[in-house]
Amino acid sequence: MKIGVVCGPLAMKDNLPGLCQWLAENGFDAVDMRSVDGAEKATIEGAGLSVGTFSAPSVGRTLDADEGARQAAVESLKGELREAAALGLRTLFACLVPPDRQAPRARTFEIWKTVWPEIVALCESLGICIAMEPWPGPAPAYPTIGCTPEMWRAMFEVCPSAALGLCFDPSHLARLGIDYVRALREFGHRVHHVHGKDTAISAEDLYLQGRLTPTFGAPKFRCSEGWWRYCIPGDGVVDWRAIVVELTALGKTDLCVSIELEDGCYMGDPAANQASLLAAKRHLESVLR
């Protein structure tokens, strides 16, 4: 499997040529694109790297409660998908969080059912697969659809096309208390991409606050609710070897595992970014290769 990076959270992201050069020099294979952009793709490939996924800005707006805004977003997304296909891009990263961050998931799902079957059909015709991100979204509503097995079952029943699938990120499942290995056994054939991110659990904070956010003050780390925090692979509770075993059993040996740096111990400083990416890569290599 390839090892890549999600450049969005990185302090180095604003110097994409420099980031790509550093990644290539240090043995990384791929970069997840931030948009449908031919120049960005050329920069990545010019450094000898491949593209992991691409993002499209219209994805979230397709879930707008306003019908006019929703249909405009659908047409915009269709254009972005056709442009992506023309560039040879093949995997759409889709975080299905609605513009209204307080919207109930059941209501957003009803909206999704009215617009996404035609988007999935277009992707299938263009040779593009969709990798849904399982981030649940912000507290207290956790509004993202497509982030739990309950929702995956319902969504795949509506859209059985193999073009609709998952960006498997065990860090989200671990913090939600979902058995990520069981999830792979049920939905592994739907995995189109993997995010290399882990979750650390603080027993002390879990005792003090339970699964609530802290009552007094803010969590000590970014990308955290106190009792849990995102971290680099190898520093948390995720068993990456078990994940590789399941994916290998499914024949998913050509996937890209993109390290997503949302570890509050390393964010915000280019030197810390580099150190954490190398540490994450070493851990992933120990189970991937």
pLDDT per residue over 128-185, tens digit each? Answer: 999 999 999 999 999 999 999 999 999 999 999 999 999 999 999 999 999 999 999 9
Structure tokens at 2: 């390839």
- pTM to 2 decimal places: 0.96
pLDDT, position 284? 97
The closest alpha carbon to 99, from 90, 107, 89, 91, belongs to: 107
Q: State the Cα–Cα distance between residues 216 and 97, nearest whole angstrom.
A: 28
Q: State the Cα–Cα distance between residues 205 and 51, nearest whole angstrom.
A: 39
pLDDT, position 287? 94
Give, in degrees to the nearest 5, the angle at Cα 190 between 76 and 251. Answer: 130
Low-confidence ranges of the chain (pLDDT < 70): none
